Amino acid sequence: MARHLQIKIGMFLLFLYLSIGIIQAVPCSGSETCVEDIQSALSVSPQEGAEASVKADAFADKGLRPEVLSIALKAWQHAWDKGDTQKKVLTVIDYSLPSDQHRLWIIDLETGKLLFHERVAHGKNTGGKLAKWFSNVNNSKKSNLGVLKTAETYMSGKFGYSLRLDGLEQGFNHNARRRAIVMHRAPYTTDEYVDRHGRLGRSWGCPALDPKVTDAIIDTIKEGSIIVGYVPDAKWLEESEYLK
């Protein structure tokens, strides 16, 4: 009796196995969902792309306007998709704010954390307290706008530890390296300087930082992260390949 039951169970399992094989072999048609499709859907490999886990209003309480962060995130996403960067760290500089304000934000896009919120200087010929004029021309002593990429560091020069920058946008900042636009420390970016003068001092176009935080910032963003220098420039906003 027991042996007879085992044979029946075995035959049932064999029938079930063959039936599933037949079902899997039937091609899909129309709106049918195949077993193969379901299995494929369950085992889809993650895509190579990435999206920032940061909302546009995430740092509004820190002075980073949602419309500015939204533009910067869009630029970073485009840079990531193009392969311009493999770093989920974004630096935003809002040059439309006066220089006495903390207008630089560095964001970890993976964790959504704000890593730094600091002042940053603009170029001598870009303006006084307010940045008004930008350039891609050598010896203009004006700041760059648009999307840049951090490169290598170096120690030579009067400012010590510094970070080279490469402009990614033809016509807007592609001459950044040739112009020696770098991130460096400067004595005219301190709280004490602002207290005395009501604004930061000015560079020759470089985004200069307070010496107290410069090294830490450079170490965080060096070698391939994205910097977005924002200004409500109609030409850049309309023509930038990173904002399409």
Residue-averaged pLDDT of the chain: 86
pLDDT at 49: 59
33-42, 44-53, 64-73: which has the highest mean pLDDT? 64-73
Q: Is 141's pLDDT higher than 80? A: yes
C-alpha span between 159 and 182 (Å, rounded): 10
Residue 13 burial by CB count (10 A; 0-12/13-18/19+): exposed, middle or buried?
exposed
The predicted-structure confidence for 192-203, as pLDDT tens digits, reads as follows 999 999 999 999
Segment 58-84 mean pLDDT: 98
Alpha carbon separation from 40 to 22, 30, 49, 158, 207 (Å, rounded): 18, 18, 20, 59, 49
The predicted-structure confidence for 19-47, as pLDDT tens digits, reads as follows 434 333 333 333 333 333 322 322 333 33
The predicted-structure confidence for 97-125, as pLDDT tens digits, reads as follows 999 999 999 999 999 999 999 999 999 99
Nearest residue to 144 via CA among 187, 95, 83, 87: 95
Identify which has the larger pLDDT, 13 or 183.
Answer: 183
